[in-house]
Structure 1
Amino acid sequence: MRLRSCCLTALVSAVLLASCASQPPQATKPQPLPDGLRADVAVLETTDLHSNILSYDYYKQKADPTLGFERTVTLIRKARSQFTNSLLFDAGDTIQGSVLADYQAQVQKIGCDQELAIYKSMDAIGYDGGTIGNHEFNYGLPYLSQVTGTPMNVDGAGQQHCAGPHYPLVLANVNSVRDGKPIFKPWTMIERKVAAFTPDGSQLSVPLKIAIIGFTPPPIMQWDKQNLEGKVTVTGVVEAAQKYLPEIQAQHPDLVIAILHGGMNTSPYTPEMENGGWYLAGVPGIDVLLMGHEHTDFPGPRFANMQDVDDKRGFVRGVPAVMGGFFGKDLGVIRLALVRQQDHWVIDKSKTISQVWPICPPMMVGGKPTISPANCVPADPQVQLVVGKVQQATIDYVNTPIGQTAVRMSTYFADEGDMSALAPVNAAQIDYVQQELPSAHPELARVPVLGSAAAFRTGFGGPDDYTDVLPGPLTLRSAADLYFYPNTLTAVKVDGRGLKAWLEQSAQRFNRIDPNATGEQMLINDKYVGYNFDQIQGGIAYVIDVSKPAGQRIVKLIYHGRPVKPSQTFVVVTNNYRASGGGHFPGLDGNNVVLAAPDGTREILARWLQQHPSLGNQDLPPASWHFARLKTHGPVVFTSASDKQAVAETDGLHNVKQLRDNGDGTAVYSIDLAH
């Protein structure tokens, strides 16, 4: 018995020794990094690429070196060579916005095992993270789930893992109705090794933990109501940040970067705020803010008078921030100076600065900064190799013939009364609803149907950013030029009072003109975007008096020669964006929709053009509005593409005259409101 006990004791000891020997050695606690250690990290940002991968204008079928991700890549490589440490993020509106994007989403739809061309291009250069913009939802949640490689617990979306970008996408403020959980990861942690320097100049390779959290504009529930209603809910950006920052901080990140597809607005905060960047910067725990959506630059003069904003060095309420333009025209760059203090990395704000690097640095011409294609950085050749095949397939597709036109349809003077490019859109919309409405709503069969359209391309992106369909052959490219966005057709029921309010809202496109002023007065209110200047046709006629204050400018409104009565009923055909509240038009919130078509407006337009194979003025509704006659002491002016006065003359605007060429492809014109 004693012998067996001794043997058992020896056996247990041996097992314990073997067990101890098999355990990994205790990890040694990393030595704390010394105070005074410094590291410069370049935080690079793209935003609002809108699938402009190559420097190409699909509508004019020519190279356009002033835009395109392939040129942004050249700047990214430059930044990486200039800065030892760098991180690259994207702030959304990435997968929609070009003909190529529509081709992959709606024509030659990609399979689950295929990666989107824009994501393949971005993977070729390597990103560290990104977020989701409002236009990512335009093609619906099933498509978004597929192309981002993100299974979603929402109606219609698949649960399989498809090919997506090779970098993490984060989104904290959109949740599934089914389970209340975010449809994307709300945040994630990435770890990188960075080069740091001690006060004596010695270099160390040290770990850096970066938390990224993403946000999209809450109004997506209005803008994409037909894709999102009943499937997801949205929270305000501040509320979402406050919800997730405690669990982020529990992981002890060195930096927290907020990636917001939104800009800045200092109006009183609401959870529905479209551009909540100023308020997001004030949430404790956010160290860096990346922005987008507004298609502009920060730092930049647009934000010069905003409270607690440094529009020169790029700080918002003390937080380093950047917004890197749109369409691949710019790269946002924050040179983040970090210093180690009390076992934490701290941002040295005195040595931190934000910049926006343009792909086409402006040149001074006649004392004025001017964009010249000759001064643009070269394209990175790798991007063309990645997307060359789908690019050619897209070009072949949009050149599909659909008819002929004897009418030039352009938007050079759409703000001044030339409706040539809007007339075919309105004609197609009216025709579609007149055919479909009687079966859907027999009680509305005799109600007048009007069409509402806005000029989407009015020079915001430069002198080539205008629709211009020349007389001659029409192709699918022509339809895409005439109708830029992949909206669906929607019809709403309004009364005469609502119709006038709609037109009054649109007339905010103009500044108030003082007839007694002797100097030049700008006609166009640049703060009111062109795509919100709806122009309505279909038997109505109206007059806009720009000498009157906003809200009182529609001084005459008639339907077939008779004044419109406040109680008179109309059906107005528009798009899903406007009908659901986009642009904040009075009375348009989705509740008065009488027809929500499954078809895209562009496709409806293309079919209508095919049904009118020899398009002439006789097929188009006449212009429906003009300015009230107004004698002014000084000139009333506006800007458009240069040398287009003949276009204005041909389209009946005999009161428009080019005053001076700006030397950058644009010119200043005058309009004589007395005639």
Structure 2
Amino acid sequence: MSTHSHIPITIWSTSDLHGFRCTPGHHPLMSDLNRMHALARMIEARRRELGRSFFWFDNGDAYQGAPLADYIMSDLRNGEARLHPMTEWFRQSGCDAFVPGNHEFNYGQHTALRLAEQFPAPWLSANIVLEDTNEPLFGTPYRIWTTEEGARIALLGLTTSYIPAWEQPAHIEGLRFLSAVETAKRYIPLLREEQKADVVIVSYHGGFEADPDSGTATEPFTGENEGYRLCTELNGIDVLLTGHQHRQIEGVRIGHTPVLQPGSHGSNVAEAKLLLQQADSGRWTVASVSTRLIPVDSTEPASAPEWLRPYEADITSRLNRPLGRIIGDMRIRNPKEARRVKHPFVQWLNEAQMEAAGVDVSLTALMDDHAPGFGPVVTDRDIAANYPYPNTLAVLRLNGRQVKEALERSACYFTINNKGELAVSDEFQSPKPQPYNYDMWEGITYTLDISRPLGERVTELLYRGQPLSLEQELDVVMNHYRANGGGGYDMFIGAPVVKHIHREVIELLAEALYAKPEWHARLTENWRVIGQRGKEYI
């Protein structure tokens, strides 16, 4: 068999842009305009250089995570007729296809469908289907391009099937989330045999449930991440593009399949360079694939382009709205320390949730390591900086056994390192940091002794000054992600739901602040984390 010619193909993939959220203090919108524009310039330059042999796909979770994105999502959900700024950015940058992630459903499937209708390219997700017809929610599950030389390039879109474990039921009513692996087993032969695809790229908003090098399981199998199985149980995937876990993966193969993941927030582009060769039969095959990550240099200052300025003025006005004053100190100077020793800001969060729900027990988390707490004057900007997720609240009726199991799960967040110091366990740092999965409670008294074995760390558990029995029931308010068992809190699954509060936590927090002119920072020391020989880690 002789070779007639070769075609170079370049694939770029982005993922988990999250509205290009950046750490507080960088930009009044808390969206990294420098990174947005730097990435757009890179894409434009590569497309100009390579023409029709260049493809750029985004792998989802683009529309949630920064106020610039989140406020407009709320407006769209409420029926406003406007174009989302991320959609305009994708249009101006020339995106070829989009694979929705789990966060695209945070504002309901109808909002997601509106975004898909306005998008400049197809939304592809083969495994999100309508319950009654089994047809893909967003229409076509794949897209095929034909090069000038006649090579057929197929892209199959897949999304993590674990969305029902996190999302509000009303947001995904009438939908089924099928296994990515089982769906790919159906579509890849179809693409190869019926559609005569020469190249099959899979873009999967999901990650790896096992170490890519060793195959050792890195998490209990839930279906959230199926990337390793996609590579080991299927033939016919030329490149697997992944996301969701915010990892940076390049130059890696699982079996014969090259895999990539570009990190998050536009920090990198994942690049796959394929060389196709034509055989006597006329069909094209992949002769070689090389992969790498390309850092996005965002050091050059950028100002908002003309199309973004109306959004910028609107969001800035909202973010600068003063809500209340704090008497005392609610600033968080060390978020990691605020998880070891109770902080007044954490207490305030829990008390605001209890007030909104009308219960006397609550749990919450510091959502990331950039949470700044509150200064003397609190604005909507401060709430967004501390609470970046569009969660709502639910009240579950839990028994003492479930409360204790949940505290034991939170206690897994800590370990004692070889220096005898309290540290964050690997489970909550890999494949990405998960500070949002460590809960702190109000309304009960408890002690976590990290020197004890896992599952035996709750050494004190009281309610209203008395030991909490395993059968005693409490009504506990928490965000809906946790109420659905998200973060490994399986003990909450199936617990009776006393009530749902169908308004976002950030709205409830703003209302709480606005309800009275001043708030006094206070601290009730109802929990502690201790280590070896009973010493507190302070």
* Superposition TM-score, scaled by structure 1 size: 0.72
CA positional deviation for 1:72: 2.0
Shift of 1:103: 1.2
The question of whether the paired residues in 2 share the 8 Å contact of 1:296 and 1:324 is answered with: yes
8 Å CA contact 1:269, 1:279 repeated in 2: no
- Separation in structure 2 between the aligned mates of residue 109 and residue 388 of structure 1, nearest angstrom: 22
Per-residue CA deviations over 1:226-246 (Å, capped at 9, x if unaligned) read 234541111100111122223
| Distance in structure 1 (CA, Å) of the matches to 2:507 and 2:237 | 44
Quick one: distance in 2 between partners of 1:624 and 1:457?
Answer: 23
Aligned counterpart for 2:224 among listed residues 267, 274, 277: 274
Q: For residues 346 and 380 of structure 1, what CA distance do their matches in structure 2 show?
A: 42
Contact 2:6/2:275 (<8 A) preserved: yes
1:233 matched to 2:176? The reply is yes
Contact 1:173 1:216 in 2 (8 A): yes
CA contact (8 A) 1:191 1:207 kept: no
Alignment CA distance shift 1:234-1:64 (3 Å):
closer
2:70 to 102, 105, 109: 102
1:42-63: CA deviations, max 9, x gaps? 110110011127x684787387
Q: 2:415 aligns with which of 503, 506, 511?
A: 511
Preserved CA contact (<8 Å) 1:314 1:322: yes
Question: Could you say what secondary structure the match of 1:207 adopts?
Answer: coil
Whether 2:361 is the aligned partner of 1:450: answer yes
Q: Could you report, residue by residue, the CA deviation over 1:316-347 in whole angstroms, capped at 9, with x for unpaired residues?
A: 22112211111111111112222223433222
8 Å CA contact 2:107–2:171 kept in 1: the answer is: no
Q: Partners in 2 of 1:112 and 1:674 — Cα distance?
A: 50
1:449 counterpart SS class = coil
**Equivalent residues in 2 for 1:493-532 (5 A)?**
493-513=397-417, 517=418, 519=419, 521=421, 523-528=423-428, 529-532=434-437
Q: Where does residue 413 of structure 1 map in the other structure?
A: 337
| Residue 66 of structure 1, CA deviation | 9.7
CA offset at residue 507 of structure 1?
1.2
- Residue in 1 aligned with 2:431? none
CA distance in 2, matches of 1:110, 1:79: 38
Partner of 2:240: 289
Q: Which residue number in structure 2 is paired with residue 181 of structure 1? A: 135
Task: Decide which of 337, 341, 347 is 1:423's aligned counterpart.
Answer: 347
Q: Which digits, 9 at most, give the CA deviation of each residue in 1:3-36, with x for residues without a partner?
A: xxxxxxxxxxxxxxxxxxxxxxxxxxxxxx9725
> Structure 2: which amino acid aligns with 1:129?
A
Q: Distance in 2 between matches of 1:34 and 1:165?
A: 43
Higher RCO (Cα < 8 Å, 6 or more apart): 2
Provide the residue aligned with 2:467 in structure 1. Answer: 563
Aligned residues: 520
Q: CA deviation at 1:143?
A: 0.9
Aligned AA (1:345): W
**Aligned-residue offset at 1:414:** 2.4
- AA aligned to 1:344 is R
CA contact (8 A) 2:126 2:142 kept: no
Aligned residue number for residue 160 of structure 1: none
Partner of 1:480: 384
Note the alpha carbon deviations across 1:186-240, whole angstroms, 9 max, x for none. Answer: 42333243xxxxxxxxxxx523322211111111112114234541111100111
Compute the displacement of 1:521 (Å).
Answer: 4.9
- 1:622 is aligned to 2:533: no
User: Which residue pairs with 2:483 in the alignment?
Assistant: 579
Tell me the CA shift for residue 560 of structure 1. 2.6
The one-letter code matched in structure 1 to 2:246 is H
Deviations 1:271-308 (A, max 9, x none): 95111111112322222111000011112xxxxxxxxx
Match of 1:491 in 2: 395
The whole-number CA distance in structure 2 between the counterparts of 1:192 and 1:56 is 41
Give % identity: 25
Partner residue, 1:69:
36
For the residues of structure 1 that align with 2:330 and 2:218, how far apart are their CA atoms?
Answer: 46
Q: How far, CA to CA, are the matches of 2:351 and 2:371 in structure 1?
A: 17
Aligned to 2:287: 348
| In 1, Cα distance between equivalents of 2:99 and 2:152 | 18
CA pair 234-470 structure 1, distance change in 2 beyond 3 A: closer
**170, 189, 207: which one aligns with 2:124:** 170
Q: Secondary structure at the match of 1:484?
A: coil
- Can you give the 5+ residue segments of structure 1 that lack an aligned partner in the other structure? 1-32, 150-163, 194-204, 300-312, 361-375, 435-447, 459-465, 633-671
One-letter amino acid of the counterpart of residue 324, structure 2: G
CA–CA separation in structure 2 for the residues paired with 1:141 and 1:321: 29
Report if aligned partners of 1:73, 1:380 keep a CA contact under 8 Å in 2.
Answer: no
Contact 2:73 2:84 in 1 (8 A): no
Alpha-carbon contact 2:128-2:178 (below 8 Å) kept? yes
| Structure 2: unaligned runs, 5 residues or longer | 211-216, 429-433
* Cα 1:511/1:268, change in 2 over 3 Å: closer
- Cα distance in 1, alignment partners of residues 13 and 135 from structure 2: 28
Pairing 1:536–2:441 present: yes
Q: Are the aligned partners of 1:236 and 1:272 in contact in 2 as well (CA < 8 Å)?
A: no
